[in-house]
Amino acid sequence: MITGFHERKHKRVNFFGQVYEIVKQIPCGKVASYGQIARLAGNPRASRAVGYALHVNPQPGVVPCHRVVNRQGRLAPAFAFGGTDAQKGLLNAEGVYVNDDGYVDMKQFGWQACQPRGHKGKP
């Protein structure tokens, strides 16, 4: 069973690494959803795992986790690095408008990433 544990840990580390690399590609002034990042990482059902990976982001100044919101454009209620106000401030500084209810217009500010080859689904 130790082998199975190490294999699962290795897969999680690889997935987290993929998440961080994808999030680094989100341009300044754009946002992406947790589900979009999960799809780009090859695991479309792993949006919660994306959230956890960003919560334990080892490089907050390098991996711009503030650019990831939920599918409706809502900011994270417990943004790991200072709360919703911190996330809103970081996004506003990049020109992303966040309304008074804590939402970003995904049509205006959503990142249109390229999908991996052979991928069929929503961006």
> Annotated catalytic sites, by residue?
65
Terminal C-alpha separation, the chain: 37
Cβ contact 26:68 at 8 Å: yes
Q: CA quadruple 43, 18, 59, 31: dihedral positive or negative?
A: negative
Torsion angle in degrees (nearest 10) through CA of 122, 87, 89, 62: -80
Question: What would the two tokens of residue 30 be?
Answer: 């754009």
Residue type at 43 in one-letter notation: N
